[in-house]
Each structure stands twice: as structure tokens, then as C-alpha cells.
């Protein structure tokens, strides 16, 4: 159960197959394995030993994959840094996990002075890029060129493989500890649900500092296939790369998919190669799925639902649940069935299991649950109870075992004593032809405690008033669930994963409360 | 990593789905889980505790699956007994693993006196069947009816799950120790290679006392699908059951497939439902594959290659390697690529890796390798060296990572200093239109050490002499590989798995040597 076994296997079975593509740069599995063994040797020469943390602050690229695999080869722990964070936040996380080394790419060199000013313990610096290596840092290509390959440490099983920071919605970010076995089993569980693609070419645009991006990229090493990287979500580069590399699988978050489909140049590109579209991080609206399936008729859509704390995979919603018959039954709004190996239960606030179709908090248990939050036993104890991970997601299960996530438990609105799940209201709002994006939150109300409030971004050129949207909702859902107020916005605040940041929408309403 | 988690999951997600079918008897997952929990309770009441061995001597049936899962629920170790063995061999294996309980079905009651006369330590007896329960034995249905369900012991990971006896070609049978994790990972690795079937209905005719039969049956619990059992290979019952239950997946050994295709009633049955045909235990000849693909054009053929000592899965040869183009390249004669997680190497007699395409012994390593042979440290040390399992199979790897098994290392014939691999000669012989079955062995020869000798069963009504078969071979392979003598037989000695027992063919030639 060693994460590097997949690299050894691919290099042995088909050394000349393409492992990574980044713009003009292509590496075979033979080259990739050789570079990883030498990079591990270079890290070893820097004094990095098994169990030490190596942080990577970089956009997606083949170098990211090499750094990731070199960490595991050496037995070190990869800490992918959230590139959307401020220098102060990054400095906090480097100190928190005690990073020995920070790998930084060209794009993030400007953040370095701020980070270094903020840290209590200064890590060594390794620059992976084409720009000039700043003083005090080493150049990765030079390190590689001067190092000898070393033997794989054969780290695996319960050895720590990744520390990935999450949270930030409340309090300080927390370092989720994931083992070799957890990540490898997660990947196998998803592959077991999915039809294999011959000559898989996957494009990685979802950031590697999110578990879904990292796990899906690593999965292609497991199957010995090709990983194409682009540095970030830029629609034209994405479309061009999909065509040029004949990509047949990619993971997108729904907001990326939406932006692609409405892009003025979308129709210029023949995306007939694209067979698998994995999505996650947030549910997909019926309207977006309709559009996507119309514009990409050859693609199978499938959803991965999970959270960093269980290595990103609780359940899988297969292509079959996106077909016409299943959609009529609403199965595309499900996150699918829990995958094998995941114990799940839906509980009330007393921790008692609720009946089928009743909403409660989803708890999960199994071999892919994190070892805990790094150095935070109290925070760990709050979410890991008797081996059960509290997901914070409000969910129910239907008669056939499909899970439906209705909301974050803490996002649930309690208005006049009634529970209102934002997702339900958002699904209704999204079906209005004028609505491009929407988010429903609770805002303070003297009588009801909270009132249902909608933030809406209209489609270009569309015009509609609050009254019409409220009437649209009242025609479909109970009155107490309908927005009592509507705010029209130019854009939504988005997280790095493309999720709408509801806390930013909520904040102005709750100031001083 | 608990084997029973799959049962809990299926019973939670879709309790009313059919778990098992045996002739008229059907059980849902709700019923199956309830019976397993009560059977485990009954075994607990008999005093059976975690780690104790429960032997099952029975034909394939739903009761076999229940006994298997109840063992794991309780934390006991399942010992599936080879039903082809003599009472003396069975008695040896029961004593060897120290079985606390022997589960026996109607068909094997006649063996009981001989077994009990042969054992040093008499196990408790549990009778699973419709016949009268013999005195001194308990009735499984009565035990079930009187017992309360117990909580799952949550055994898993490195806990021992199965002891399966193998060997017998040389010396005493050896008990292969397989853990929960090894079996579960094996199943996931195969499912990751294979396209999932919606509403999978699998038929189990390969015996449960072989690792392939057991692992494939258990895999359907993992995916929460339906297991149909028939007691043994009877072509008409098999064909009738495939149709009646609309079976879409089954594992067959090539000799079974051959017998089905030539059965006079084959054409009466509409087998359009059959989508996946897994095969294993021995290679498939080109002639048989041709015939099978012509008569079952809707089916995907795929091969599982492995051995009991690594839980039955080293490599997987996918449907794509059975298509016209791949067959022209000979890929259907490969056992496919090693699956992820399997370290493999091909070594010479000094243990050094040989170049690509050179033949040597195949060694494997990884999380699915056995813990060892039960109570046989010396035998274990002979095959498990530095974590590598010596398979005893002679193999080579092609440029694309496909493995080809050319023979058992010990089946290799050395004639006049040249290595002759029986499989190569057999493949040529099998293409002769008169040949139904053939086996090539080495027999003693004063000049060459060994001489190549063929045993042949002709097709009904076919007539051909040794000279014509020898000429057929000489037209295709080197002279030193051609049989120097041919023996015509009415039938071949077959193992329980349908393999030709070459030791039985060899024996008369080697008596006194």
C-alpha cells in the first residue's frame, strides 16, 4: 500500500508512455520515475528525512506531480499550500506543520518576502520555475541535475502522506492528516465505480491543493495514464489543451463548467474526445446539467462527493444517474450511493440515527478517514467521535441508498422555527431563465430569528425583479422557504475551488450581531 | 478494511435487493444480513471465538455464502474444504488447521464417517441441508432459528479471514493464510480494472474452495449485487440458470466453457444476457476463444491470473486484449498486465532480473500476498523470500507490460539441453481440427534426459494418427519442441478446477525413476 508503487509499475510496464504534459513539456514514465528518484535524492541531500513536511506553493504543473511523488519516495509528507491564501495565512500553515522545505514556483515568488517575514521557523526554499531563483533559495532543476537517484523508502500503509489545510470558515485552518493507505484506497474505490478508459488522458485544472484535484491526478498514476496540467482555470487555454492533447477525462467544479459552456469561443473547439467529466466540490444545478449534456453529448457526467477529512470520497454518482429517466426521478441531485468501504449514518442532534428520507447530519467511518488534524487534538475530537467523522453536511438517504446533501448543517436557516435548506431554495431559483448564479442565506430577523435571503447574479442582458423571483419560488416550494429579500449582484465571491463563499455574503448582514 | 462491511452496506443501501439465489430459494440483502448475524450468534453460542477455524465441506450454494460471511462476522477463519479430496486428505487438513467446527452439506454426509475416523481432533459438526441431520451433528437451520443475532466483531485488516489448502502436486497440502485486507484489496483491484455492470447478476459455478470462485462470489457482495449459485458444473442446469436468472457475469474455467459450447443443447438457450465472461485457472486456446466469441458475440471475455498464495490476482487481461486487432498480436494469450499494487519481476535461477521478453520465474510482492502457510514456516520460507512470492510460473513480459505465462517452472521440459515450454506445444496441437484436449509433458529419455510427449483426446468421431499430429507441429515450431511420442486417451485426468492433472499423466512414465 505504497503510493509510489504506481510510479514504479508504470515505469516498468510501459516506460515510453507519456506520464505528464505541461504545455510544450512532455515526460515519459521512464523519465518521470528517473526525475522523481533524483529529486528524492536531492531532498535527501538537503537533510530531509522520513516524516518531515515539504510544502508546495505552486500552480498545477508536472513539477507539482514530481514534487508530490518525490516526497512519498523519500517518505516525506506533502503539504500542498492553498494558493489563494494571503502570505500571513500561508506563514501560519508552514509554522503549524513545521515545514522543513517550501517549494515555490515563479507565480508565487512575489509572496515569498511576506511569507518569510511571517514565519517563526524559516523553511529551506526550493524554486521550481524558469524565472531567476531568488537568493537564499535553491533551484529545483539544479538540485535534480546534481543529485543521484535514491532507492524508494517504501513508505506506505499508515505512514503519513499528505497534510492538507482546510477550514477557514471558522477559526484557524486545520491540517488534515492523510495516510498512504487512505489515499490509495480512495483512488481504488473510485476506479472500482467507474468504467476504465483505454488510453486515458486526464486534464488537471482543479487545484492540486484540494483533495479532489490531488486524488484525481494521482489516480492517473495508479492506472498508468497521462496527466496533462494547466496552471489554472483560463477558459481558452483549457479548451485549447483539451483539443490539442485529445483529453478524455477531466474534473471540473460546476462553476468552471458553467464558464466554459457560456464562453463565446466554446463552439470553435471540437471536444468530441472528452468522455468523462467528473465534478465535485458543489452540486450541479439541473439547468447547468441540461446545458452541459446538450453541448457535450458524448460525455459521461459523474459526481464525486467527499471532504478532505475522508480523503475526498464518500459517495459516487455514476453516469447512469444523469440519464433522462434517472433525472426525471431527481437522481442527478443526489451525490450517489456511498462507495464500498464507507460506513455512513444520518443522525439527529442527539447522535441517533434518523429514519430513511429524514434529514440529519451525515457521519462517515472507514479506512479513508483522516488520522486527525495535525497537532490539534481538541479540534480532532470535535469531528472524530468513536471512529465516526462528523461531516457537517445535512443529508438524507432515499429507499435505494442514494444520498442527498441538502446543505451544510451550519448553513441551514432556521426561520420561525422551521428548517430551511438553502440548496432546495437555490435549486428552484436556478430554474428561472434570468438567473445565472444564486445563493440563499439566513439573515437576522427580529421576529423569526433568521429570514431567508437570496443573492442573485443575472444572465447578461436579463432583467427581472425581486417580486418575480419570489413568485417563481412560491409556485414551487412552501412560503416559509421563499426568499423574503433578494439582492442583485454583479458577481459572487468564489473560493479557490469555485464554491460560492456564503460567509462573505452573510458577513455584512450579521455585523455587530 | 472489514470483509463484512460490504454486507452491512448492501443491507443498508438497498435491503430489498436480491442477495442470493439457489434454485427456488431467494434471499434479499436484509434477509441475508439478518441470517448471517444470527448464524454468527449460533456459532458464538457453540463457543467459537475470534481466530478459530471453521471448515466448510459443501457444494456451492447460498448457505456457503452465509457460512463464509458469518465466520467473518464472528471473527472466525473460513477454511473452504476441497470437495474432490478423499476422506483421508480432508481429515489431514482439518487436523492441520485445527478446525473447531466442520460445516457439511447433504452431498458430503457420506464422507463423514471416513473423515471422523481419520481425524486426531474431532471438530463439532454442523449440517447445512435438507437431509436428516446425522447424530452427533447440529442442524444449521435449527441453530439459526434458536440463536439471537450478535454484533459484528469488526474483524478486519491483518486479521486472518481464510485458510485455503493448495498444493498437493508435491507433498502435503499447505494452508494458505489470507487476511481480510488481502481479500478486500484483491477484489477492489479487479473491480478497478473492469467496467461496472448495472444490476449485476453473477453465477457461481467455479468451486468456492478455489480462490477465484470465492473472490468473485465475494466481489458481488462488495458491489452489492446478486449471487446465483449452482452446486456444480452440470451443463444443462448451468444453461437453464443463466437464462432463468438473466445472469450477466460468470467465471468459468476454459474446460467448462469448452463443454458448454459443444453441448448438443447449447443452441436452445438464449444467452444474450451474458455480458462478462471471466476465465482463469488455465490459459484459453485460440481455437476455444474463436468458438466462444462466435457463439457468444455479446460477451466480453477477460482473464484473471493469479494464485492462491496472492489471493488469486496478479494480472488482468481485459476485453480489449481479446478483440480482433489484439488477437492478431497474440494478446489473448497474455495474462494481461499486472494490476496496480502488484510488484512483479521475472528472474533467472540465480534470482537476477532477466531482460524483457526473456523467460524466467515470475515473482510477485504486494498487499495481497499471503501471510504464509499455516504452521509451515519451512514451506513458507521456500516460496516467500524477502517479501517476494515465488509463483513457480515461467513467464516473460512484452514491451507494453503484458505478461505471458509460458509454463509452470517445474513443468518445463528440458530435452537435449533445450528448454521446451509445454504451453507453446499445446497451443499448436490445439489448432489441429481433430484435437479436443491435449497436454504436453516430459518423459524420461536416455539420450536427451527428457523427451517431449503429448497426451491427446480427439473430438468425437475424429480420426488422426501420431504422425499427422507431429507433422502439424513441425510445420509451426522447432523440431526439438515437437512431440516425440503421442498417446491417445478417452479423457484427461482433471482437477477440481478443471485443470489437466499433468502429474497423473506423468506418473506412469516416471515410475521407478
Task: Tell me the nearest-neighbour CA distance from B343 into chain A, angstroms.
Answer: 7
Task: Tell me the nearest-neighbour CA distance from A341 into chain B, angstroms.
Answer: 6
Predicted pLDDT of residue B477: 77
- Read off the pLDDT of each residue in B310-330 and give the average, rounded to a whole number: 91
CB contact under 8 A, B192 and A195: no
Q: Among A188, A218, A326, pick the best mutation site for testing chain B contact (most B Cβ within 10 A).
A: A188
Model confidence at B281, pLDDT cuts 50, 70, 90, reads: low
Task: Tell me the nearest-neighbour CA distance from B5 into chain A, angstroms.
Answer: 6
Same domain for A251 and A330: yes
Number of Cβ pairs < 8 A linking chain A and chain B: 82
Q: Which of B163, B150, B204 is nearest to B78 (CA)?
A: B163
Question: What are B51-102's pLDDT values in tens digits?
Answer: 999 999 999 999 999 999 999 999 999 999 999 888 888 999 999 999 999 9
Predicted pLDDT of residue B447: 76
Name the 3-class secondary structure at B137. Answer: strand
- The answer on pLDDT for A43 being more than 80 is yes
- The answer on pLDDT for A346 being more than 80 is yes
Predicted pLDDT of residue B172: 74
Predicted pLDDT of residue B409: 65
CB contact under 8 A, A195 and B198: no
In this complex, which of A1, A5, A195 lies closest to B196 when CB atoms are compared? A195
Model confidence at A168, pLDDT cuts 50, 70, 90, reads: very low
Question: What are A443-489's pLDDT values in tens digits?
Answer: 988 877 789 999 999 999 999 999 999 999 988 777 888 999 999 99
Same domain for A198 and A57: no
Q: Which helix (H) or strand (E) holds A309?
A: none
Question: What are B186-236's pLDDT values in tens digits?
Answer: 999 999 999 999 899 999 999 999 999 999 999 999 999 999 999 999 999
Higher pLDDT: A513 or A328? It is: A328
Kindly list the distances between the CA atom of residue B8 and the CA atoms of B14, B33, B120, in Å, as whole numbers in the listed order: 10, 7, 38
In this complex, which of A1, A13, A191 lies closest to B401 when CB atoms are compared? A13
Work out the mean pLDDT of chain A and round it to a whole number.
92
Is B270 part of a structural domain of the chain? no
- Read off the pLDDT of each residue in A413-440 and give the average, rounded to a whole number: 83
Predicted pLDDT of residue A479: 82
CA terminus-to-terminus distance, chain A: 50
Same domain for A400 and A427: no
Predicted pLDDT of residue B103: 98
Same domain for A144 and A227: no
Q: For residues A184 and B466, what is the distance between their CA atoms, to the nearest angstrom?
A: 55
Residue B259: all three cell numbers together: 463443454
Predicted pLDDT of residue A258: 87
Same domain for A416 and A405: no
Task: Tell me the nearest-neighbour CA distance from A171 into chain B, angstroms.
Answer: 34
Tell me which of A409, A437, A470 is where a domain ends: A409
Bridge partner list, B360: B395
- Read off the pLDDT of each residue in A489-500 and give the average, rounded to a whole number: 82
- Read off the pLDDT of each residue in B416-427 and give the average, rounded to a whole number: 76
- The answer on pLDDT for A115 being more than 80 is yes
- Provide φ and ψ at A49, rounded to 5°: -120, 175
In this complex, which of A14, A188, A318 lies closest to B188 when CB atoms are compared? A188
Predicted pLDDT of residue A170: 45
Q: How many domains does chain B have?
A: 2
Predicted pLDDT of residue B13: 96
- Read off the pLDDT of each residue in B440-467 and give the average, rounded to a whole number: 90
Higher pLDDT: A480 or B430? It is: B430
Same domain for A297 and A400: yes
Q: Among A401, A402, A403, A404, pick the best mutation site for testing chain B contact (most B Cβ within 10 A).
A: A401
Predicted pLDDT of residue A169: 41
Put simply, whether A300 touches B (Cβ < 8 Å) is no
- Read off the pLDDT of each residue in B132-147 and give the average, rounded to a whole number: 95
Q: Which of B45, B13, B133 is nearest to A402 (CA)?
A: B13
Predicted pLDDT of residue B169: 41
Predicted pLDDT of residue B171: 58
Is A37 part of a structural domain of the chain? yes
Q: For residues A250 and A299, what is the distance between their CA atoms, to the nearest angstrom?
A: 10
Question: What are B336-355's pLDDT values in tens digits?
Answer: 999 999 999 999 878 899 99
CB contact under 8 A, B14 and A401: yes
Predicted pLDDT of residue B59: 97
Q: For residues A262 and A462, what is the distance between their CA atoms, to the nearest angstrom?
A: 15
Q: For residues A304 and A333, what is the distance between their CA atoms, to the nearest angstrom?
A: 12
Question: What are A273-289's pLDDT values in tens digits?
Answer: 999 999 986 667 778 88
Same domain for A426 and A379: no
Predicted pLDDT of residue A395: 92
Tell me which of B179, B200, B233 is where a domain ends: B179
Question: What are A291-303's pLDDT values in tens digits?
Answer: 899 999 999 999 9
Predicted pLDDT of residue A140: 96
- The answer on pLDDT for B446 being more than 50 is yes
User: Any idea which of A164-178, A430-444, B87-101, B367-381 has the lowest mean pLDDT?
Assistant: A164-178
Q: Which helix (H) or strand (E) holds A497?
A: none
CB contact under 8 A, A338 and B13: yes
Put simply, whether B346 touches A (Cβ < 8 Å) is no
Q: What is the CATH number of the domain that holds B105?
A: 3.40.50.980
- Read off the pLDDT of each residue in B469-495 and give the average, rounded to a whole number: 89
User: Any idea which of A33-47, A325-339, B44-58 has the lowest mean pLDDT?
Assistant: A325-339
- Read off the pLDDT of each residue in A187-201 and give the average, rounded to a whole number: 93
- Determine the structural domain holding residue B473 and report its residue range: 415-510
Same domain for A474 and A397: no
Q: Which helix (H) or strand (E) holds A66?
A: helix A62-74
Work out the mean pLDDT of chain B and round it to a whole number.
92
B359-418 residues touching A, CB cutoff 8 A: 366-367, 397, 399-401
User: Any idea which of A279-288, A373-382, B50-59, B142-151 has the lowest mean pLDDT?
Assistant: A279-288
Tell me which of B179, B210, B245 is where a domain ends: B179
Predicted pLDDT of residue B290: 86
CB contact under 8 A, A188 and B193: no
Put simply, whether B158 touches A (Cβ < 8 Å) is no
Same domain for A334 and A202: yes
- Read off the pLDDT of each residue in A180-186 and give the average, rounded to a whole number: 96
Question: What are A196-230's pLDDT values in tens digits?
Answer: 998 999 999 999 999 999 999 999 999 999 999 99
Helices (H), A388-463: 422-430
Is B120 part of a structural domain of the chain? yes
Is B199 part of a structural domain of the chain? no
* DSSP calls for B389-455: EEEEEEEEE-TTS-EEEEEEGGG-EEETTEEE-HHHHHHHHHTSTTEEEEEEEEEEETTTEEEEEEE
Is B160 part of a structural domain of the chain? yes
Task: Indicate left, alpha or beta for A341 from its phi (over 0: left) and psi (-120 to 50: alpha).
Answer: left
Is A175 part of a structural domain of the chain? no
| CA-based nearest residue in chain A for residue B344 | A9
- The answer on pLDDT for B168 being more than 50 is no
Model confidence at A246, pLDDT cuts 50, 70, 90, reads: very high
CB contact under 8 A, B337 and A13: yes
Same domain for A346 and A227: yes
Is A134 part of a structural domain of the chain? yes
Is B257 part of a structural domain of the chain? no
- The answer on pLDDT for B114 being more than 90 is yes
pTM of the model: 0.84
Same domain for A272 and A261: yes
Same domain for A382 and A354: yes
Q: What is the CATH number of the domain that holds B500?
A: 3.30.300.30
Amino acid at each position: 500500500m505504497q503510493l509510489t508503487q504506481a510510479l514504479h509499475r508504470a515505469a516498468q510496464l510501459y516506460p515510453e508512455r507519456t506520464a505528464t504534459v505541461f504545455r510544450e513539456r512532455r515526460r515519459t514514465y521512464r523519465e518521470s520515475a528517473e526525475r522523481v528518484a533524483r529529486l528524492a535524492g536531492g531532498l535527501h541531500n538537503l537533510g530531509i528525512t522520513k516524516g518531515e513536511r515539504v510544502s508546495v506553493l505552486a500552480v498545477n504543473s508536472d513539477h507539482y506531480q514530481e514534487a508530490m511523488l518525490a516526497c512519498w519516495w523519500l517518505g516525506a509528507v506533502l503539504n500542498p499550500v492553498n494558493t489563494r491564501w494571503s502570505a500571513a495565512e500561508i506563514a501560519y500553515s508552514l509554522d503549524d506543520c513545521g515545514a522543513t522545505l517550501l517549494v515555490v514556483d515563479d507565480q508565487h515568488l512575489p509572496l515569498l518576502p511576506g511569507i518569510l517575514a511571517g514565519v517563526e521557523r524559516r523553511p529551506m526554499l526550493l524554486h521550481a520555475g524558469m524565472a531567476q531563483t531568488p537568493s537564499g533559495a535553491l533551484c529545483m532543476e539544479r538540485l535534480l541535475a546534481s543529485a543521484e537517484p535514491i532507492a524508494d523508502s517504501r513508505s506506505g500503509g499508515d505512514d503519513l502522506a499528505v497534510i492538507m489545510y482546510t477550514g477557514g470558515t471558522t477559526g484557524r485552518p486545520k491540517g488534515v492528516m492523510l495516510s498512504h493507505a487512505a489515499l490509495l484506497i480512495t483512488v481504488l474505490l473510485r476506479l472500482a465505480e467507474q468504467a476504465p478508459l483505454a488510453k486515458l488522458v486526464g486534464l488537471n485544472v482543479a487545484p492540486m491543493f484540494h483533495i479532489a484535484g490531488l486524488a484525481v491526478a494521482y489516480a492517473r498514476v495508479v492506472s498508468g495514464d497521462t496527466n496533462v496540467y494547466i496552471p489554472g482555470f483560463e477558459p481558452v487555454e483549457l479548451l485549447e489543451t483539451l483539443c490539442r492533447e485529445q483529453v478524455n477525462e477531466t474534473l471540473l467544479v460546476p462553476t468552471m463548467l458553467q464558464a466554459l459552456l457560456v464562453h463565446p469561443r466554446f463552439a470553435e473547439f471540437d471536444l468530441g474526445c472528452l468522455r468523462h467529466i467528473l465534478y465535485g466540490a458543489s452540486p450541479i444545478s439541473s439547468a447547468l446539467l441540461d446545458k452541459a449534456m446538450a453541448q457535450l453529448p458524448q460525455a459521461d457526467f459523474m459526481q464525486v462527493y467527499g471532504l478532505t477529512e475522508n480523503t475526498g470520497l464518500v459517495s459516487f454518482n455514476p453516469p447512469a444517474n444523469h440519464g433522462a429517466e434517472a433525472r426525471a426521478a431527481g437522481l442527478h441531485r443526489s451525490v450517489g450511493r456511498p462507495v464500498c468501504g464507507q460506513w455512513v449514518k444520518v443522525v439527529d442532534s442527539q447522535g441517533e440515527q434518523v429514519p430513511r428520507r429524514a434529514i440529519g447530519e451525515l457521519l462517515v467511518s472507514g479506512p479513508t478517514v483522516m488520522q486527525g488534524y495535525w497537532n490539534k487534538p481538541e479540534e480532532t475530537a470535535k469531528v472524530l467521535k468513536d471512529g465516526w467523522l462528523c461531516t457537517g453536511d445535512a443529508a438524507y438517504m432515499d429507499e435505494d441508498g442514494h444520498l442527498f446533501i441538502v446543505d451544510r448543517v451550519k448553513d441551514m436557516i432556521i426561520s420561525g422555527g422551521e428548517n430551511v435548506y438553502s440548496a432546495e431554495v437555490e435549486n428552484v431559483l436556478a430554474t428561472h431563465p434570468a438567473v445565472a448564479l444564486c445563493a440563499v442565506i439566513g439573515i437576522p430577523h427580529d421576529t423569526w430569528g433568521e429570514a431567508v435571503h437570496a443573492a442573485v447574479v443575472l444572465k447578461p442582458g436579463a432583467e427581472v425583479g425581486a417580486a418575480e423571483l419570489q413568485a417563481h419560488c412560491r409556485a414551487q416550494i412552501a412560503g416559509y422557504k421563499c426568499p423574503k429579500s433578494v439582492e442583485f449582484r454583479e458577481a459572487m465571491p468564489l473560493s479557490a475551488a469555485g464554491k460560492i463563499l456564503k460567509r462573505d455574503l452573510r458577513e455584512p448582514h450579521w455585523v455587530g450581531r
